[in-house]
Structure 1
Amino acid sequence: MLANTVLALSLLPVSFAHFTLDWPKARGSAENTAGDFPCGGYADVQQQRTDFPISGAPLQLNLGHEQTNIAVYMAVGDNPGSGFSVVMRPQFQVQGLGDFCIGQISVPSGVNVSDGTKASIQVVSNAHANGGLYQCTDVTLRSASLSTSDYDSHCKNGTNIEISQQNISGNPNGTSTEDHSPSGSAGAATPSPTPGAASHVKAASWAMGFIGVAGLALL
């Protein structure tokens, strides 16, 4: 029974060890490119964008590490490439696994946008080795706010998950914070591309170690 349990759990996707951006819908997620800047290797913008209120909306993540550093950046434009220069949420640290909602992510005051402006949002987390992990979503900014029911449907938190530190200097990928913001933006940081095979190997071993313990707990 032990062998069967461990074997079944070992077949779970290794992406469990990282994070996913579940809403707004991410461009895509692949374990072998998760550390590629920008957007985890998904350079092409989505044809179907999500309407995102300028005044703020949640980002729904699923976290696969017990401790995760996160920051949120935005790039304005139809196809902004790697220009994620607007800081929407400075680096903070989360304790816990599973569903995590970053509430009320809004466009900083002073950034020149209006109803219908196209933009891309990038969530960056630490890779628990070298570099960062990246997920992007493409949005159309809107003046209208989300209804309470729509907001709540995209904002869920798992049990025992919480923010442990806020306003941490630097970026989750290990680089320092630098001001590359266009005039009027509320601070900026440009994460550097630091994928590296080592980060994926370490993450994979962590996942398998966690799965092994979980398998024993099920006996």
Structure 2
Amino acid sequence: MKLLAILPALLPLVAAHFNVEAPPTRGGSEDTQPMFPCGGPTEPSRERVKIPLDDPKLAIAMEMGHDQAAVQVLLGLGSNPGSNFNISVVKTFRQVGLGAFCLPEVSFSEDVVGFKPKDGMEATIQVLSNGDPKGGLFHCIDAVYTMSARYVKPESCKNGTGVEAMPFSGEAANRNANESTPNGQPQGGSSGGSGGSGGSGGQSPSPTGNAAPLQTAAVWGVLGAAVAGGVALL
């Protein structure tokens, strides 16, 4: 009987995970997800996700294991950018609700990323979710811009019952998700917002460059209805 009484209390701990369901990621495990960068894997995927050059956007489908989290999408250029994820594609925002959650049209166009994409240009997308006082969880998607691709929303791009998302403003939006609480406040504790508990990850750098705030503001202009106000439309 005592065991049965304890089990409900353990369920939130078991469910406290974060996965990117689509596009395919580098991989990793729940043990390595707190490690910056990319949740552990250091080598890029052999098969890269194709970003359509004529309409540069992707849907990012996730499975959320915290009932609330700060979420952010970053971009690093090159075949393997290491820890140089210095382009903020989607500013840090608040996500609420367990289960399926999707950003249906994340833009990687010139006005967002700050450069003119070319056919064959390689990059890596990093998705951060932080619903834990010890720091965030990371996934990386290796990608390539190409003329041969077209945007397709995957079947996994949907939102669970009660799932909501809303943008932060001011300093909260510009703060790295790995250093933010789900409410947009600076994350406290001895870890200082570093990637992972027990010092396993190292601190994730804030995106640099003067254009970063303008880039992400453009994203919310395009995605605001789909993410913050129109989640139920998926």
Unaligned 5+ segments in structure 1 are: 176-191, 200-219
Which of 147, 160, 163 lines up with 2:162 in the alignment?
160
Q: Which amino acid aligns with 2:132?
A: H
What is the CA-CA distance between 1:71 and the residue it aligns to?
Answer: 0.3
Aligned counterparts of 1:194 and 1:27: Cα–Cα separation in 2: 17
Partner Cα separation in structure 2 for residue 40 and residue 155 of structure 1:
22
Equivalent position to 2:115, from 92, 111, 117:
111
TM-score normalised according to structure 2 size: 0.66
Taking the aligned partners of 1:71 and 1:100, their CA distance within structure 2 comes to 13
How far is the alpha carbon of 1:116 from its aligned partner?
Answer: 1.8
- Percent of aligned pairs with the same amino acid: 33
What is the CA distance between 1:117 and its match in structure 2? 1.2
How far apart, CA to CA, are the structure 2 residues paired with 1:112 and 1:159?
38
Does the 8 Å CA contact 2:50/2:149 hold for their aligned counterparts?
no
Structure 1 residue 57 displacement after superposition = 1.5
Two-structure CA RMSD over aligned residues (Å): 3.0
Q: Deviations over 1:155-186 (max 9, x none)?
A: 211111111334523011117xxxxxxxxxxx
**C-alpha distance in 1, partners of 2:39/2:154?**
27
Per-residue displacement from partner, 1:74-111 (whole Å, max 9, x unpaired)?
Answer: 11111111111111100001111111111211114232
Equivalent residues of 1:130, 1:198 under 8 A apart: no
User: Could you tell me how far apart the structure 2 residues matched to 1:111 and 1:5 are?
Assistant: 56
Distance 1:198 1:79, change over 3 A: closer
Q: Which runs of 5+ in 2 are unaligned?
A: 181-192, 201-234
* AA of the residue aligned to 1:80: P
Q: State how far apart, in whole Å, the 2-side matches of 1:22 and 1:159 are.
A: 17
Q: Which amino acid aligns with 2:126?
A: Q
* Distance of 1:12 and 1:161 partners within structure 2: 17
Give the Cα separation in 2 of the matches to 1:43 and 1:198. 17
Aligned residue runs from structure 1 range 137-152, under 5 A = 137-143=141-147, 146-147=150-151, 150-152=152-154
Per-residue CA distance 1:43-93 (angstroms, 9 max, x = gap): 111111121234212101000011111000011111111111111100001
Q: Distance in 1 between matches of 2:179 and 2:12?
A: 29
In structure 2, what is the equivalent of residue 21 of structure 1?
A: 20
Distance, in Å, in 2 between the alignment partners of 1:31 and 1:163 is 24
Moved over 6 A (4+): 4-7, 9-13
Partner of 1:169: 174
In structure 2, the CA distance between the partners of 1:39 and 1:193, relative to structure 1 (3 Å rule), is farther
Q: What are the equivalent positions in structure 2 for 1:2-41 lying under 5 Å apart?
A: 14=14, 16-41=15-40
Amino acid at match of 1:156: K
Segment drifting more, 70-79 vs 50-59:
50-59
Of 54-63 and 165-174, deviating more is: 165-174
1:134 is matched with 138
SS in 2 for 1:39: coil
Does the residue aligned with 2:178 lie in a helix, a strand or coil?
Answer: coil
Partner of 2:47: 48
Cα distance, 1:145 vs structure 2: 5.9
Count of residues paired in the alignment: 180
Q: Which residue of 2 aligns with 1:69?
A: 70
